[in-house]
Every structure is written in structure tokens, then in C-alpha cells.
């Protein structure tokens, strides 16, 4: 039992953590504690002496030890004596936004209810969610607010969402709603967040929290390349393997905000939820509004454990369907191989080469429909360009299937080109403000997913294509952010709902298509990794991580991505050199190493490779398939911070601590430097491991030129030594500076 309701004390317990709230003497819901388990009521820590002349509750006016100005709240609301950032703000019928929420009831639930129209954490194969609702009400305003909690005991994760019900006979307007809000009493924290841009997503940044408000957000109606809805509060001494840290993840793919405030008495408040900019939602009498869900986890033992908790909760409780657990196909994608320049025969040749290399799936990327020979045209006109393919798509797919290969197709459903029949026929379906010129990006406009007619049209269209063509895979792209946010089907006073309604429309389409085609693997994509979030992972169990396939830069992007998102969800490929994004030439082996912590595949034309390179790729695919169970099901450890170090290093350890794979690479050769050591993690200190320097073995003198000139080097070390002293890996004088070690326990 992980939910304890004792009179005025409400505790959520996971294997290693405690989350505690209480109903105070005035009926307000206070947040008492989140962190390591304790064995008592933590209310003795609350110090709420009135320190300023600020308004206090009318009934508490003679109690100078009670002030909303500094109390820790479970759901801080706007107004009512709390001047910090608020998790909920509602404009009441009379125009004020002063909410007075008191506890109405606390309801344990025997199962978790689905969140209507939104992704949510659900019962998993290994564990069920325990759930509880806390119902708050502003009696006078006739508004009810339900805090929905679910607890994943084994995974050390707590989920929370907020629902507002308007019992008032007049309409109200929600202005802010944050499913995650955490109040901490005087505590020093660093904030870790992941900023970026196109081809440079999820860059790690760590900074001490100072007084004032820090805002990490996206107002682009997509989770975005620029920031990710994922925040960590870490004790300044926390590192990968030790120290307290709190992870917070929003399961939402639209505009979000993560706000952190350090207040007048050094308390810290963290909010993560929907971006209040450009958002408000009118709730008519008796209507409800459901916020997205937030996931929280606490680790006493640093970031590795925190990441494992999020990896597990996403794998077991967020992702659905067979691909959440099963092996994934190794694919070859046509984009960097051919861009828009292909025909049916060249695609069949690509398929033949793909098969010969040993990959499982050929993906035909952009350019197969309408007159799409460049990116100026045809989005929305999803008729196969048979002139270009020289055959119907069904025939092409049939021939690929006959080769023993699966076939996948690229689509970008939420977009329309200005130059398209769809836009000419339905200009009102695009998000364009009447009488204004549209904002154009990559010559495309965004369809109004807030319009159910558009969503239904897209569903009919794409379900037919998938069905008729017998597709095995879909790459769902999204190359520009919706802007302006305007829907022709909503009145002026509801345009501020478009951003959220857009996301709901996309989720609706994704839900219907993924439900109807459970055997089709859907991969998310947004100009690379611009919509890499837990909301999308509910529908698409893998997401293309970035358009940047440069092995060095990619390891940094994947480093940031790995803090929250499971390795099995990370779309990652080997591409040709010179790299199309950086022009850098990195060895095939290092490109393979960089693409390994993910779903793996190729983004190149094998016909342009040397015979020896094709042979190496065949070996890479065999090797990756052998390793995939360890990569997907093992625990992942970051062994270096590539933003501070000149090397990337990471490893996987299987659940029994019998097998491990260490991988990494140096970004530059340092002259006359005798190599360096990497300290391993996650092994059993009491086991002995045989370490094999795999792929390209190393000797104490450096790198062997040819794999078969010598058997791979092997040595035996104790787990304890490997996790304390580490192991030496060499730098090499050529550009092939990657290393791989495979470990097998001898016990
Ligand atoms: C952006 C994606 O990230 C690429 O992989 C490719 O699919 C292009 N779009 C196609 O337009």
C-alpha cells in the first residue's frame, strides 16, 4: 500500500521516497515533504511566522504564526496572500483571480482513471498504479479542483494532474495550470535543464538557483528544440552516483513552462506545466478542464538512479503496444541517401542494398507524393507521385516485402504547402489569420488541428494509405512550429485556446491511427528532435533524436536526452561523411558507436560506399542486433559529461549485473597523452569481469590496424576495481578515437 490517508495527513510512498501533504487547521492543503523516506509527520518543519504585512486568511488574523506569504502549498493559487508564482490561476465571473481553495475530500482510488484526450501514465506489465484524488473547492466561487495522484511504488515515480470543474452558473477562465508544483523550504539547489536549437537539441546546462524567477519554456505550440519539458533540481554536490536530486517531466507536446522561484526566505518553488503565455481557457458552467500529467521522481543517489526511474516509468507506464518492449528493426532511411532525387528503381536498389547489409526496414522519406521534388510544394496532397515512382506505391511496397524487408513511409500530417491543392481548396483549414499574409517556414503552413473536420480528414486519409499500402512503419514529421495560433472555427474570445486545442487534435489523430494499426511502428520526428517528449512517446515509442548525425555532436545531444528518455526510444543513425550538417569526417566505427545507444540505423546510400565499408556495416548490424537486448533492457550509465570533458563515455549493465557494454569516444587527440581512465558504474563489486576490447581491439601500444591481426584483447578485473579505479582506454592518433569494451561476469 503506497497511499496513506490518516485524518489530516496524506502520504504517498514509493520504494525509496515519501511525498507528504497535510490539511492545516484552516483546511488549506500544505506540502510537507518530498524526498527520502522518513518515519513521521514532517509538519514540525513548517515555519510560517508572518514576516510581512501581507493579507492573511480572515479567520487566521490573530494567529501571527500563519501566513500564506511563506507557507508551502501543494497547489499554490493566484492571489490570496501568496505572491510567489502560482500553479493555478482562474479568472472568476466577477473578474478577479483570487482563489480560496480548501480541502473538500480525499478519495483513495482502486484504479487509475484515464485522462480524456491526453497521454497519461498507466498500469504497466510489472506494476499497477495506485491512485488518490484530493478534491479542493472554492465554495463561494463554486469551483472544484481535483488533484489526481498516481504512485508507481517500484519505479519511485509519482504522477500528478490537475482538473478544474466549474459549478458556477457563469463561465470562468483558466489562466495558468501547472500539474507539477513543488515547494521546498530553505534548500540549496542547482537547476539542470536542456536547451538547444535545430540540429543541437537538449544541451545540458546546470546552474545554481538564485533569488528571483527562472523561466524555461516553449511558446511554440510544440515542446520544441529550444527547451525540453524536463527539469532537475539537484543538490549542489549531486553527481551521477550520489546526492539528492528531483526530476520533473511533463507529459505534453505543446507549449510549456518550467518556472523556478527562490523567495524572500530562500524557499524554492518549482512549477512545470502549460505555458501561461498565449493561453487561457473558458470553462462554461458544468464544464471540466483536465491538465496534462506531470511525472516526478526523487533520487538520493544522483542522476543515474533518477534517469533509471524515468526510463522505467516511460517504458512500463507511458509507452504502449508491442514496440514498448520488443526488439526494434534496424532501418535505412532514404533522406540523406537521396533527398528528393529518386525514382522507383533507385528506391528498389536502395532496398536491395539495405537487405544485403542485413538491415530490417527501408524507410522512404520525404518526396514520394504530389509534385514534391523540393520542399516548396505539395504537403497536404498525399497522392503518390506515380510518375516519379514509375509504379503504384503498393507495387513498390510489395516488391520490397518480397525481398524480405519491411517498408516504412515518411508523412507530415499537420502541415500544408501554400502550393498545394489542399490549401487551394481549404484555405480556412490552415492557421492563417483572415486578411493577413501567412507566416511561412520551409514554404509550409500549419493545419488547424483544433478543427475536428481537419483531424477527421487526416484520419481517413492516412488510415487508408497505411491500410492499402501495408506499411510497417511511419515516420511522423513536424517541421515548423504553428504560428500564428489561429483557428477559423473558434470565436475571438477562444483563440487563446488554440495552442492547447492544436495539441489535443494531434493527440486525437495519433490515438486513432496508433490504435487502429498496433503492428505499425510509429517514429516521431520534428525537424529532428523538436518534439522529443513523454507525450509523444505515449503514441510513438521512438523519436528521431536530431537531424545532426555528426558523431561528436550527436553524443552530446544523446547525453542530454538520456537524462529522462529511455535509450530504446532514441532514434539514432549512422550517416555518410563528410557529415551533411558539419562536414566533419569521423570514422565509420565512431559513427557506429555514436549511433549505438538508440534504435540504430543508417542514413546513407550504400551504393556510394567502398566494398570494405559495406562489409564493416554488415558486421555493425550483426553486432548491434546481438547487443540490442542489453542496450534496451539494461541500465544506462553516463560515465563522462561531454560538455566538460573532451570525451563521451557511457555504459549499459544488464539487470543481473553479468553483462555490460562500455562505449565512448574522444573528441580530439591530445599529443603525447598516455590515454585516460574511465570509471565504470552499475557493476557488482563482488563479481569478476572478463573485459574484451571489442570491435577494434586495443593493445597497450595503441590501436591494432586490422581486427583479425590479433584476437581481441581480454583482461580480468573485479567489479570493485572497475568502479573505483576504472579502466584505461587509449587515445589514438587517427580520427578513429572511439572505444568499446564488453564485460562478462565470471561468477
Ligand atoms: C526533417 C527530418 O528530421 C528529416 O529526417 C527528414 O525527414 C526531413 N524533415 C524531410 O523533409
Task: Report pLDDT digits (tens) over 227-266.
Answer: 999 999 999 999 999 999 999 999 999 999 999 999 999 9
**Of 682, 684, 678, which is closest to residue 741 (Cα–Cα)?**
678
Give 488-504 pLDDT, tens digit per residue.
Answer: 999 999 999 999 999 99
Cβ burial 661-690 (10 Å sphere, 16+ → b, else e): bbbbbbbeeeeeeebbebebbbbbeebbbe
How far is the centre of ligand 1, averaged over its atoms, from the C-alpha of 564 (Å)? 24
Instruction: Categorize the per-residue pLDDT at 701 as very low, low, confident or very high, splitting at 50, 70 and 90.
Output: very low
Q: What share of the chain is helix, strand, coil (3-state, %, to 5)?
A: 25, 30, 45
- Residue 318 per-residue DSSP state: I
Give 469-491 pLDDT, tens digit per residue.
Answer: 999 999 999 999 999 999 999 99
DSSP E strands, 252-351 = 256-262, 268-274, 281-283, 288-290, 293-299, 331-333
Pairing of strands 659-666, 415-417: unpaired
**pLDDT mean over 298-316:** 98
Instruction: Categorize the per-residue pLDDT at 694 as very low, low, confident or very high, splitting at 50, 70 and 90.
Output: low
Ligand 1, atom 10, residue with closest C-alpha: 366
The whole-number pLDDT of residue 698 equals 39
pLDDT for residue 378 is more than 90: yes
User: Which atom of ligand 1 is nearest to 475's Cα?
Assistant: 7
Q: 249 by DSSP, 3-state: which?
A: strand
Contact (Cβ atoms closer than 8 angstroms) between residue 537 and residue 569: yes
Write out the three cell numbers for 504. Answer: 489535443
The whole-number pLDDT of residue 737 equals 80
Instruction: Categorize the per-residue pLDDT at 734 as very low, low, confident or very high, splitting at 50, 70 and 90.
Output: low
The whole-number pLDDT of residue 708 equals 47
Residues annotated as catalytic are 533, 613
| Residue that wins the pLDDT comparison between 669 and 727 | 727
**Of 187, 154, 324, which is closest to residue 268 (Cα–Cα)?**
187
Ligand 1, atom 9, residue with closest C-alpha: 527
What are residue 312's phi and psi, to 5 degrees? Answer: -70, -40
Separation in Å, CA 540 to CA 180, 323, 446, 474, 595 = 24, 9, 21, 9, 19
User: Which atom of ligand 1 is nearest to 335's Cα?
Assistant: 6
- Residue 83 per-residue DSSP state: -
Pairing of strands 130-138, 143-152: antiparallel
User: Which atom of ligand 1 is nearest to 603's Cα?
Assistant: 5
Residue to mutate (ligand 1; options 547, 557, 576, 599; most atoms within 8 A of CB): 547
Ligand 1, atom 11, residue with closest C-alpha: 366
pLDDT for residue 63 is more than 70: yes
User: Which atom of ligand 1 is nearest to 547's Cα?
Assistant: 3
Residue to mutate (ligand 1; options 410, 546, 549; most atoms within 8 A of CB): 410
Q: What is the distance between the alpha carbons of residues 414 and 742, in angstroms, rounded to a whole number?
A: 44
Q: What is the distance between the alpha carbons of residues 245 and 306, in angstroms, rounded to a whole number?
A: 7
Q: What is the distance between the alpha carbons of residues 214 and 437, in angstroms, rounded to a whole number?
A: 35
How far is the centre of ligand 1, averaged over its atoms, from the C-alpha of 412 (Å)? 9
Contact (Cβ atoms closer than 8 angstroms) between residue 449 and residue 516: no
Contact (Cβ atoms closer than 8 angstroms) between residue 582 and residue 553: yes
Residue to mutate (ligand 1; options 341, 474, 477; most atoms within 8 A of CB): 477
Q: What is the distance between the alpha carbons of residues 51 and 271, in angstroms, rounded to a whole number?
A: 24
The whole-number pLDDT of residue 107 equals 97
pLDDT for residue 661 is more than 50: yes
Separation in Å, CA 323 to CA 140, 319, 320, 536 = 49, 8, 7, 14
The whole-number pLDDT of residue 462 equals 98
Contact (Cβ atoms closer than 8 angstroms) between residue 316 and residue 164: no
Positive or negative CA dihedral for 481, 487, 492, 498?
A: negative
The whole-number pLDDT of residue 380 equals 98
Q: What is the distance between the alpha carbons of residues 251 and 120, in angstroms, rounded to a whole number?
A: 7
How far is the centre of ligand 1, averaged over its atoms, from the C-alpha of 154 (Å)? 38
How far is the centre of ligand 1, averaged over its atoms, from the C-alpha of 411 (Å)? 10
The whole-number pLDDT of residue 736 equals 65
Q: 537 by DSSP, 3-state: which?
A: helix
User: Which atom of ligand 1 is nearest to 526's Cα?
Assistant: 3
How far is the centre of ligand 1, averaged over its atoms, from the C-alpha of 366 (Å)? 7
**Average pLDDT value for the chain:** 95
Give 102-148 pLDDT, tens digit per residue.
Answer: 999 999 998 999 998 999 999 998 899 999 999 999 999 999 999 99
Write out the three cell numbers for 182. Answer: 513543488
Ligand 1, atom 1, residue with closest C-alpha: 527
Ligand 1, residues at Cβ distance < 6 Å: 335, 365-366, 410, 477, 479, 525, 527-528, 544, 547
**Residues whose CB falls within 8 Å of the CB of residue 92, separated by 6 or more in sequence, listed in order:** 98, 99, 141, 143, 168, 172
How far is the centre of ligand 1, averaged over its atoms, from the C-alpha of 475 (Å)? 9
Q: CA-CA-CA-CA torsion for 480, 482, 484, 489, nearest 10 degrees?
A: 140
What are residue 740's phi and psi, to 5 degrees? Answer: -145, 130
The whole-number pLDDT of residue 669 equals 73
Amino acid at each position: 500500500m503506497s497511499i496513506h490517508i490518516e485524518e489530516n495527513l496524506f502520504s504517498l510512498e514509493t520504494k525509496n521516497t515519501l511525498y507528504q501533504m497535510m490539511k492545516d487547521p484552516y483546511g488549506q492543503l500544505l506540502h510537507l515533504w518530498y524526498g527520502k523516506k522518513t518515519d513521521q509527520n514532517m509538519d514540525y518543519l513548517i515555519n510560517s511566522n508572518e514576516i510581512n504585512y501581507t493579507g492573511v486568511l480572515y479567520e487566521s488574523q490573530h494567529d501571527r504564526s500563519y501566513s500564506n506569504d511563506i507557507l508551502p502549498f501543494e497547489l499554490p493559487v493566484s492571489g490570496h496572500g501568496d505572491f510567489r508564482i502560482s500553479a493555478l490561476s482562474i479568472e472568476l465571473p466577477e473578474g478577479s483571480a483570487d482563489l480560496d481553495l480548501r480541502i473538500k475530500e480525499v478519495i483513495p482510488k482502486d484504479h487509475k482513471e484515464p485522462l480524456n484526450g491526453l497521454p497519461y501514465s498507466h498500469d504497466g506489465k510489472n506494476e499497477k498504479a495506485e491512485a488518490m484524488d484530493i478534491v479542493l473547492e472554492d465554495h463561494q466561487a463554486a469551483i472544484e479542483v481535483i488533484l489526481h495522484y498516481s504512485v508507481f511504488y517500484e519505479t519511485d515515480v509519482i504522477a500528478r494532474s490537475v482538473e478544474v470543474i466549474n459549478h458556477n452558473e457563469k463561465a470562468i477562465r483558466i489562466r495558468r495550470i501547472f500539474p507539477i508544483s513543488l515547494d521546498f523550504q530553505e534548500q540549496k539547489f542547482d537547476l539542470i535543464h536542456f536547451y538547444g536549437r535545430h540540429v543541437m537539441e537538449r544541451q545540458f546546462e546546470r546552474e545554481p538557483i538564485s533569488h528571483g524567477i527562472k523561466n524555461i519554456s516553449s511558446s511554440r505550440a510544440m515542446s520544441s528544440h529550444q527547451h525540453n519539458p524536463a527539469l532537475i533540481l539537484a543538490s549542489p554536490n549531486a553527481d551521477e552516483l550520489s546526492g539528492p536530486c528531483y526530476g520533473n517531466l511533463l507529459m505534453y507536446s505543446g507549449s510549456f513552462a518550467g518556472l523556478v522561484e527562490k523567495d524572500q526566505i530562500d524557499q524554492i518553488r518549482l512549477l512545470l506545466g502549460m505555458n501561461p503565455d498565449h493561453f487561457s481557457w473558458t470553462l462554461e458552467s458544468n464544464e471540466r478542464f483536465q491538465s496534462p500529467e506531470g511525472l516526478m521522481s526523487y533520487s538520493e543517489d544522483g542522476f543515474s538512479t533518477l534517469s533509471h526511474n524515468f526510463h522505467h516509468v516511460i517504458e512500463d507506464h507511458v509507452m504502449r503496444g508491442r514496440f514498448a518492449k520488443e526488439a526494434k528493426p534496424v532501418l535505412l532511411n532514404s533522406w540523406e541517401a537521396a533527398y528528393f532525387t529518386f525514382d522507383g528503381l533507385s528506391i528498389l536498389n536502395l532496398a536491395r542494398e539495405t537487405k544485403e547489409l542485413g538491415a530490417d526496414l527501408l524507410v522512404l522519406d520525404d518526396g514520394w507524393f504530389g509534385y514534391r521534388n523540393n520542399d516548396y510544394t505539395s504537403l497536404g496532397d498525399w497522392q503518390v507521385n506515380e510518375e516519379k515512382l514509375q509504379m503504384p506505391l503498393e507495387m513498390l511496397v510489395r516488391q520490397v516485402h518480397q525481398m524480405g524487408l519491411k517498408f516504412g513511409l515518411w508523412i507530415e500530417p499537420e502541415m500544408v504547402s501554400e502550393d498545394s491543392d489542399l490549401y487551394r481548396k481549404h484555405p480556412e483549414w490552415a492557421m492563417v489569420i483572415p486578411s493577413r499574409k501567412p507566416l511561412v517556414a520551409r514554404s509550409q503552413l500549419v493545419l488547424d488541428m483544433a478543427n475536428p473536420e481537419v483531424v477527421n480528414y487526416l484520419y481517413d486519409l492516412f488510415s487508408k494509405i497505411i491500410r492499402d499500402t501495408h506499411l510497417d512503419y511511419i515516420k511522423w514529421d513536424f517541421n515548423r512550429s504553428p504560428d500564428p495560433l489561429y483557428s477559423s472555427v473558434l470565436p475571438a474570445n477562444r483563440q487563446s485556446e488554440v495552442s492547447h486545442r492544436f495539441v489535443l487534435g494531434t493527440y486525437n489523430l495519433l490515438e486513432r491511427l496508433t490504435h487502429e494499426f498496433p503492428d505499425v511502428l510509429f517514429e516521431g520526428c520534428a525537424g529532428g528532435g523538436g518534439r522529443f517528449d513523454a507525450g509523444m512517446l505515449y503514441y510513438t515509442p521512438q523519436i528521431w533524436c536530431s537531424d545532426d548525425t555528426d558523431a561528436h555532436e550527436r553524443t552530446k545531444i544523446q547525453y542530454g536526452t538520456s537524462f529522462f528518455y529511455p535509450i530504446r526510444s532514441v532514434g539514432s543513425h549512422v550517416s555518410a561523411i563528410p557529415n551533411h550538417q558539419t562536414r566533419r569526417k569521423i570514422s565509420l566505427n565512431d559513427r557506429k558507436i555514436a549511433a549505438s545507444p538508440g534504435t540504430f540505423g543508417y542514413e546513407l546510400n550504400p551504393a556510394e560506399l567502398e566494398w570494405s565499408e559495406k562489409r564493416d556495416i554488415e558486421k555493425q548490424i550483426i553486432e548491434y542486433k546481438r547487443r540490442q537486448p542489453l542496450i534496451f533492457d539494461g541500465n544506462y550509465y553516463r560515465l563522462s559529461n561531454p560538455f566538460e570533458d573532451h570525451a563521451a563515455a557511457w555504459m549499459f549493465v544488464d539487470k543481473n549485473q553479468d553483462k555490460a557494454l562500455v562505449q565512448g569516444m574522444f573528441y580530439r587527440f591530445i599529443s603525447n597523452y598516455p590515454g585516460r581512465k574511465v570509471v565504470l558504474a552499475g557493476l557488482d563489486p563482488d563479481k569478476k569481469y572478463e573485459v574484451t576490447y571489442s570491435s577494434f581491439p586495443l593493445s597497450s601500444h595503441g590501436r591494432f590496424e586490422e581486427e583479425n591481426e590479433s584476437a581481441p584483447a581480454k583482461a580480468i578485473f573485479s567489479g570493485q576495481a572497475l568502479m573505483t579505479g576504472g579502466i584505461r582506454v587509449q587515445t589514438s592518433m587517427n580520427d578513429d578515437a572511439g572505444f568499446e569494451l564488453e564485460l562478462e561476469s565470471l561468477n
